[in-house]
Amino acid sequence: MKCLSICTLILAVLPQFSCDTKPIEKELNPSLVLWYNKPAENWTEALPIGNGRLAGMIYGRVENETIQFNDETLWTGQPHDYANEGAHKVLEEIRQLLWNGKQEEAEKLGNEKFMSKPLGQMCYQPFGNVLLDFIGHESATNFQRKLDLEEAISFVTYEVDEVKFKREIFSSEPDQAIIIRLESSKNGTLNFSAGLDSPHEKYDVLVDRNVIIIRGKVNNYPKKRERKGAPYPESKLTFEARLQIINEGGEVVQNDKTIKVVNANSATLKLVAATSFVNFKDISGNPSKWCEKQLKNIENKSFSELKDTHVYDYQKLFSRVALDLGKSEISNRPTDKRLVTFRQDGDPSLVSLLYQYGRYLLISSSRAGTQPANLQGIWNDKIYPSWDSKYTININTQMNYWLAEMTNLSELVDPLIGMVEDLSEAGEKIAKEHYNMGGWVTHHNTDIWRGAAPINRSNHGIWPVGGAWLSQHLWWHYQFTEDEEYLKKRGYPAMKKASRFFVEYLVPDPENSSWLVSGPSNSPENGGLVMAPTMDHQIIRNLFANTIEAAEVLRVDADFVKKLEERRSKIAPNQIGQYGQLQEWLEDKDDPENEHRHVSHLWGLHPGNEIHPLTTPELAEACKVTLSHRGDGGTGWSRAWKINFWARLLDGDHSFLLLKNLMKPPSKDGGSIYQNKGGLYNNLFDAHPPFQIDGNFGATSGITEMLLQSHLRDDNGDFYQDILPALPSALSSGKIEGIKGKGGFEISITWENGQLVQVDVKSLLGNNLNLRYSGNLIKQSTSPEKIYSFQLKDF
């Protein structure tokens, strides 16, 4: 009855809505469970699991289950030096051509003499598939598949002839394996056959007792040669996976390449996998040995032990943050149905689901000691994925990590820090060969081999601030944790070397010689090769400021600090142009009709902190003008960035509008016009399109920015904790627990009817607290581990 009346109510506003709230086995928390009543037809409907390294995509097919899996270290190519030796000889000429307005010639020279060797980088690869056949299950009823974010476990349940079948699948970090549990409700009725295959050309499968083994070698990069004929490096990585099948009841029958389980009660399958990758310079690993050892390590562990260990480990991270935005009857529908109507019904619990999904995906794709999350996290089924599923660092990789510190997942930044450390080594050679300068530099893409030279084409490839932007995350990690040991050993050395490059790189502007500018570079990926793009200046200012402060914290390098201060004060300032817009370049040449997906020159607003309505109101207004030119559409990640921008501009409703524009099924034609792209697939993976994970992470960051911002500081350097700075009217009541502010504060906020009810702040480091709500400030000294509570009346 209740459902009926609510459905009728909604039907009045939603013509295509159908009442689909079927009774389901156990109550599914709509803020924490993705679920569906049919199997996945394609990859972007399958459900992702991962332990930072080992990924799985579960289709939930009844008779022919497929679990497509990856190991994050399986890439084409081999250790490679991408430097174009002596490229620096044309640097000055490119600059002069640009100063003289000869962009085309400058780009031509860049393409001929300044680019990476080869011109592209390598690509992330799929590994294989676990294939499970359940003969006779075609007639299944009561089907459901789900992904429970609370425990990071995917389930498939259905009935055949009144027997209930259940699959439980997870990727365990502590046990470094994908575990598949198969159960039936009646003893002796579990029958299936298991196999492994791979999309690579060279592989073998064999069966050894109750283990299926697959061994192979990665295909070569799909393109053989670059434009000028230089070959792409040959693929050298080898891989191996082992699937062990442990049956309870019944028996095991070995075939040549598959294993059959007959008349069992239940079975546990353990999948381990590895490659010969050791690090970006070393591929001498032995995947066979690793798999053998790993299976041995877990051989005596029962399913329930493995599951308990997994859940305990995962929840240590995931449970730190809880978000409740309320729910209603419509929240109980399958996830794909909820997505279709979200733009009309604005179901707040779908917002919490997407929020926590971002955290889930980061925990699943980025653990200490692994590779950072790439364009697709660690999930990829294509031999030739879009943009190679590598690391695009002119926005995408950084967006992947915006949420990490603020949603209380600090330790997951470790892989990004590790990558920056590698790049600070590989990029040293590029600084030398391409610029004849010290320090290190990285351009707009990198891969597992830490390519740092400019790729593709000069008009967007020559962009030297990739490493400088990445270094922002090194400093954030310190600001959230104040871990001095980390800063000394890892963060500061890379930041200092990045700054060293830019001390030499900046040049005086010929029209105003007291200003220093960047170039040759580009404003990603708009307008071609130029001198003096605004974004570069904002990033370099930020890098210098952070390096100066880090040196002061560590009490080192006083002379270098002076030099950075002097250089920093001369970097060309932000400019407001003829339409009142923030200029994308030093020259006032923005096109108000241009709806380009990148909004690079607003970097200083977000993720930078040099523009804000309270501190630089004119520049903040100019950012609004720019955003009105760029519009409210774009690719998935572009929409996600705009959620963050509008939150920083303290406009919660506009921020929510962008969130709504992101939370829709992707347009049917794939969105040939960039402005019409974006959306979410049925499994809530963000659609560029194609799938790109940055939009997921950027959305979680943007929702956090609506509720808490901590990037502004007072004159003593203490951070303001701005509570509900951009609360949208659509999320008028709710509660968030455990998010983090800079300076070491763990914060929980309750609000109702658009107003704060209570805020609890746990001080982790004993810093001074500047708690601000609705323009009113509470100042409070704190002690570590103490919780401070305030209510609306206290402000």
Site for ligand FUC in 424-483 (CB under 6 A): none
- Beta carbon nearer to ligand FUC, 491 or 671: 671
Query: Are the C-beta atoms of 35 and 335 separated by less than 8 Å?
Result: yes
Please report how close the Cβ of residue 724 comes to ligand FUC at its closest, in angstroms: 31
Cα distances (angstroms) measured from residue 13 to each of 345, 404, 660: 9, 38, 17
Please report how close the Cβ of residue 81 comes to ligand FUC at its closest, in angstroms: 24
Provide the angle, in degrees to the nearest 10, between the axes of the packed helices 396-406 and 466-481: 0
Please name the residues in contact with 182: beta carbons below 8 A apart, sequence gap of 6 or more: 132, 165, 166, 167, 190, 192, 266, 267, 268, 269
Q: Which two tokens stand for residue 179?
A: 């575990």
Please report how close the Cβ of residue 651 comes to ligand FUC at its closest, in angstroms: 25
- Beta carbon nearer to ligand FUC, 335 or 389: 389
- Beta carbon nearer to ligand FUC, 44 or 635: 635
- Beta carbon nearer to ligand FUC, 17 or 387: 387
Q: Under DSSP, is residue 461 helix (H, G, I), strand (E, B) or coil?
A: helix
Site for ligand FUC in 191-230 (CB under 6 A): none
Of 125, 165, 126, 158, which Cα lies nearest the Cα of 140? 158
Please report how close the Cβ of residue 54 comes to ligand FUC at its closest, in angstroms: 24
Count CA within 13 A, CB hemisphere, residue 21.
18
Please report how close the Cβ of residue 386 comes to ligand FUC at its closest, in angstroms: 7
- Beta carbon nearer to ligand FUC, 276 or 376: 376
CA distance 755 to 737: 16
DSSP 279: B
Site for ligand FUC in 120-139 (CB under 6 A): none
Please report how close the Cβ of residue 444 comes to ligand FUC at its closest, in angstroms: 7
Figure out which of the listed residues 190, 237, 375, 441 binds ligand FUC, where binding follows CB under 6 A. 375
- Beta carbon nearer to ligand FUC, 392 or 709: 392
- Give the other-Cβ count within 10 Å of 764's Cβ: 19
CA distance 351 to 562: 47
Please report how close the Cβ of residue 524 comes to ligand FUC at its closest, in angstroms: 7
Figure out which of the listed residues 116, 172, 392, 700 binds ligand FUC, where binding follows CB under 6 A. 392
Please report how close the Cβ of residue 93 comes to ligand FUC at its closest, in angstroms: 27
- Beta carbon nearer to ligand FUC, 338 or 460: 460
DSSP bridge pairs for 272: 242
Figure out which of the listed residues 151, 347, 447, 525 binds ligand FUC, where binding follows CB under 6 A. 525
CA distance 274 to 54: 9
Count interface residues toward ligand FUC (CB under 6 A).
10
- Beta carbon nearer to ligand FUC, 388 or 610: 388
Cis-peptide, bond into residue 493, ω within 30° of zero? no
Query: Are the C-beta atoms of 498 and 467 separated by less than 8 Å?
Result: yes
Cα distances (angstroms) measured from residue 324 to each of 20, 370, 464: 23, 31, 42
Please report how close the Cβ of residue 661 comes to ligand FUC at its closest, in angstroms: 16
- Beta carbon nearer to ligand FUC, 671 or 741: 671
- Beta carbon nearer to ligand FUC, 597 or 740: 597
Euclidean distance between the first and the last CA atom of the chain, given in angstroms as a whole number:
44
- Beta carbon nearer to ligand FUC, 277 or 387: 387
DSSP bridge pairs for 42: none
CA distance 663 to 15: 19
Cα distances (angstroms) measured from residue 311 to each of 144, 171, 314, 319: 22, 10, 5, 11
Backbone angles phi, psi at 262, to 5 degrees: -120, 130
Figure out which of the listed residues 44, 542, 635, 644 binds ligand FUC, where binding follows CB under 6 A. 635
- Beta carbon nearer to ligand FUC, 113 or 596: 596
Please report how close the Cβ of residue 399 comes to ligand FUC at its closest, in angstroms: 10
Please report how close the Cβ of residue 411 comes to ligand FUC at its closest, in angstroms: 27
CA distance 314 to 321: 13
Q: Which two tokens stand for residue 716?
A: 């003593």
Q: Which two tokens stand for residue 335?
A: 């996830």
- Beta carbon nearer to ligand FUC, 71 or 525: 525
Q: Under DSSP, is residue 295 helix (H, G, I), strand (E, B) or coil?
A: helix
- Beta carbon nearer to ligand FUC, 461 or 744: 461
Cα distances (angstroms) measured from residue 636 to each of 206, 258, 610, 679, 685: 42, 41, 25, 6, 10
CA distance 707 to 748: 10
Please report how close the Cβ of residue 688 comes to ligand FUC at its closest, in angstroms: 6
Please report how close the Cβ of residue 526 comes to ligand FUC at its closest, in angstroms: 9
Q: Which two tokens stand for residue 433?
A: 């060969």
Please report how close the Cβ of residue 392 comes to ligand FUC at its closest, in angstroms: 4
- Beta carbon nearer to ligand FUC, 76 or 459: 459
Please report how close the Cβ of residue 383 comes to ligand FUC at its closest, in angstroms: 18
Q: Which two tokens stand for residue 461?
A: 């490839």
Q: Which two tokens stand for residue 573?
A: 């300032």
Per the listing, tokens 């609306």 go with 792
Query: Are the C-beta atoms of 174 and 153 separated by less than 8 Å?
Result: no
Binding mask 579-608 for ligand FUC (x = CB under 6 A): ------------------x-----------
If binding is defined by CB under 6 A, does position 696 make contact with ligand FUC? no
- Beta carbon nearer to ligand FUC, 443 or 541: 443
Q: Which two tokens stand for residue 267?
A: 């079975």
CA distance 429 to 441: 9
Q: Under DSSP, is residue 673 helix (H, G, I), strand (E, B) or coil?
A: coil
Of 661, 599, 663, which Cα lies nearest the Cα of 629? 599
- Using only C-alpha atoms, the chain has a radius of gyration, in whole angstroms, of 27
Count CA within 13 A, CB hemisphere, residue 336.
16
If binding is defined by CB under 6 A, does position 387 make contact with ligand FUC? yes
- Beta carbon nearer to ligand FUC, 128 or 666: 666
Of 269, 276, 277, 275, which Cα lies nearest the Cα of 298? 269
If binding is defined by CB under 6 A, does position 396 make contact with ligand FUC? yes
Please report how close the Cβ of residue 286 comes to ligand FUC at its closest, in angstroms: 33
Please report how close the Cβ of residue 165 comes to ligand FUC at its closest, in angstroms: 40
Per CB under 6 A, residues contacting ligand FUC are: 375, 387, 392, 396, 525, 597, 635, 637, 688, 692
